[in-house]
């Protein structure tokens, strides 16, 4: 049996080449942005690992579940929560900061003095309040209305000076966790409810990080 050769029109070939080139360019841009974003977050990641170790030890003792770096839907975008601890006590929402120098002030922004330079810093407690309300919203939608949701801001850098007491040090976090009530919540059910709405698209997560870095 003889098959006739398939002739692809020249115009179609050109369109196909153009489409493939555009897709390759988009992939290259996405990769470059992802690498750049990863480098920017590296200092924060170091601090998050320190806090995660403390939370993981507590989670093992209390048979709780630790979720690190979870993206949840927020309005038309998403938000990243550094750590979520789900257990019989409910949910603990942890915002980690790994900054140095001295922080002071109040209101929506704090002042960070680092050597001779001064920076404006989003108030981490207000940032974490948004995360707490977001978690409560998704739990209510899942039918878990009476789950206690608490939040902690933790500074992983032991050299940071807080003129305004904004968050906990690592030892203070450990002490605060020990004071949590046992409670009667179903930690696994809470975890499943949050994972069911978790944002997994790398494009949405990267877009969130880029928008956040420009603030």
**Residue range 183-200: mean pLDDT, rounded:** 96
Q: What is the mean pLDDT of residues 50-59?
A: 96
Quick one: average pLDDT of 126-154?
96
Cβ 55 vs Cβ 87: under 8 Å: no
- Average pLDDT for the chain: 86
Higher pLDDT, 207 or 109: 109
Q: What is the pLDDT of residue 126?
A: 93
**Which long-range CB contacts under 8 A does 60-65 form with residues at least 24 apart?**
62/87, 62/88, 62/89, 62/180, 63/87, 63/88, 63/187, 64/88, 64/89, 64/187, 65/187, 65/188, 65/191
What confidence category does residue 212 fall into, taking pLDDT thresholds of 50, 70 and 90? low
Least confident of 9-18, 108-117, 169-178: 9-18
Which pTM was predicted? 0.79
- Cα–Cα dist 64/195, whole Å: 15
pLDDT of res. 157: 93
Residues 6+ apart with CB under 8 A from 201: none
**pLDDT band at 215; cut points 50, 70, 90:** low
Confidence bin at 177 (pLDDT 50/70/90): very high
Give me the percent of the chain exceeding a pLDDT of 90: 63
**Contacts of the segment 103-106: beta carbons below 8 A, 24+ positions apart:** 103/160, 103/161, 103/162, 103/163, 103/164, 103/166, 104/163, 104/164, 105/164, 106/164
What's residue 82's pLDDT? Answer: 95
pLDDT at residue 31, rounded to an integer: 64
Q: Using alpha carbons only, how large is the chain's radius of gyration in Å?
A: 23
Contacts of 183 (CB under 8 A, 6+ apart): 87, 88, 89, 90, 148
Asked whether the beta carbons of 121 and 109 are under 8 A apart, the reply is yes
Is pLDDT of 142 > 80? Answer: yes
Does 132 or 77 have the greater pLDDT score? 132
Higher pLDDT, 104 or 46: 104
164/168: higher pLDDT: 168
60 has a pLDDT exceeding 80 = yes
- Mean pLDDT, range 177-192, rounded to an integer: 95
104 by DSSP, 3-state: which? strand
Using pLDDT thresholds of 50, 70 and 90, give the confidence band for residue 113.
very high
Q: What is the pLDDT of residue 46?
A: 85
pLDDT at 187 over 80: yes
Count of residues making up the chain: 215
């Amino acid at each position: 049996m003889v098959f006739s050769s398939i002739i692809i029109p020249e115009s179609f070939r050109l369109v196909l080449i153009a489409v493939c080139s555009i897709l390759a360019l988009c992939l290259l841009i996405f990769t470059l942005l992802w690498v750049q974003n990863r480098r920017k977050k590296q200092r924060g990641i170091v601090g998050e690992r320190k806090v995660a170790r403390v939370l993981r030890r507590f989670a093992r003792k209390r048979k709780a579940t630790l979720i690190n770096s979870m993206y949840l839907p927020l309005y038309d975008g998403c938000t990243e929560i550094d750590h979520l601890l789900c257990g019989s006590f409910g949910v603990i929402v942890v915002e980690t900061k790994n900054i140095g120098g001295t922080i002071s002030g109040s209101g929506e922004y704090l002042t960070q003095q680092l050597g001779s330079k001064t920076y404006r810093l989003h108030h981490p407690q207000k940032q974490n309040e948004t995360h707490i309300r977001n978690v409560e919203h998704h739990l209510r939608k899942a039918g878990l209305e009476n789950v206690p949701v608490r939040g902690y801001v933790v500074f992983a850098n032991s050299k940071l000076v807080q003129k305004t007491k904004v968050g906990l040090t690592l030892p203070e976090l450990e002490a605060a966790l020990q004071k949590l009530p046992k409670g009667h919540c179903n930690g696994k059910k809470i975890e499943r409810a949050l994972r069911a709405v978790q944002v997994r698209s790398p494009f949405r997560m990267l877009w969130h990080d880029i928008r956040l870095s420009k603030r």
